[in-house]
Structure 1
């Protein structure tokens, strides 16, 4: 039996190599079995090519098939055991830790962004360049005048 990733499945279908598709139940989920011109194949996850792609929700499998242009599929539900959902569910404590760390990092980033925004805004009023230069020139002129009055001619 061949193992196909989603991209390989898409290419095979585009080339007209897919004859039929069966959604076969295994426990709480469904695996996609594909009959191709070269024989039977199964849809696998692209990251781990040895692990079958399982669909707990049949709607998602049917949406995928529809997106590929496959409008007919057979459903084999003989081995479907939806009541075993809790037993087959794999706990992911590592994901909980990662998500907690991500949320903490996000809150720190928000805090830092707020501080930087306040810092960039400053507490001093905005004064235009022209105003600063005219005030500086007035001070210089006044000092020159005072200096001119003090110096003997």
Structure 2
């Protein structure tokens, strides 16, 4: 019969309620798993957040960090199943997370540039030594710049 699985929230609640006696860091080939020794249910394994399978760790240090995060102060190791010479498993690819993080970083860079521009503009607005131009002059400069860009685009498109 398979052991019961606790996700992190369930394990944390069990620890806080005083139902967990200790943790066991169990090795199996190239992965590490956390088992919790409970007062009522015996051994319970730490599972994934969806509760379908055991939570595997490639690095025992990460597993120990999680045990400490749970608040379990005592435990033991079961390393008989560990193959220290096993190749490291490939890291999980998360292209969706990668693209999301890249977009967030780009957005943060644009926000920082915009904020710096606004701070500079506000400082210049208060500086009496800065030459100020009228709205009409600004619009004329902008129209000239737009015309230059359109002319450049026509040249590139016609070439």
TM over 0.5: yes
Q: Which runs of 5+ in 1 are unaligned?
A: 127-153
Q: Indicate if the aligned counterparts of 2:23 and 2:74 stay in contact, CA closer than 8 A.
A: no
Aligned to 1:109: 111
TM-score (ref. length: structure 2): 0.61
Aligned to 1:151: none
**Residues 64-117 of structure 1 deviation map (CA, whole Å, 9 limit, x = unaligned):** 4345243221323414466332x4422222222222212211111111111211
Residue pairs, 1:129-144, within 5 angstroms: none
Alpha-carbon separation, structure 1, partners of 2:122 and 2:53? 52
Alpha-carbon separation, structure 2, partners of 1:120 and 1:51? 56
Q: Radius of gyration: which is bigger?
A: 1
Aligned to 2:64: 62
The one of 10, 13, 18 aligned to 1:11? 13
Q: Indicate if the aligned counterparts of 2:25 and 2:35 stay in contact, CA closer than 8 A.
A: yes
Q: Which runs of 5+ in 2 are unaligned?
A: 129-159
1:84 aligns with 2:94: no
The one of 24, 40, 44 aligned to 1:41? 44
Q: Indicate if the aligned counterparts of 1:27 and 1:84 stay in contact, CA closer than 8 A.
A: no
Alpha-carbon separation, structure 2, partners of 1:82 and 1:106? 43
Relative to structure 1, the CA distance from residue 14 to residue 103 in structure 2 (aligned partners, 3 Å threshold; closer, same or farther) is closer
Quote the RMSD (CA, aligned, Å).
2.7
The one of 78, 81, 87 aligned to 1:75? 78
Alpha-carbon separation, structure 2, partners of 1:81 and 1:88? 16
Which secondary structure state, in structure 1, belongs to the residue aligned with residue 110 of structure 2? helix
Relative to structure 1, the CA distance from residue 124 to residue 12 in structure 2 (aligned partners, 3 Å threshold; closer, same or farther) is closer
In the comparison of the two structures, how many residue pairs are matched? 124
TM-score (ref. length: structure 1): 0.63
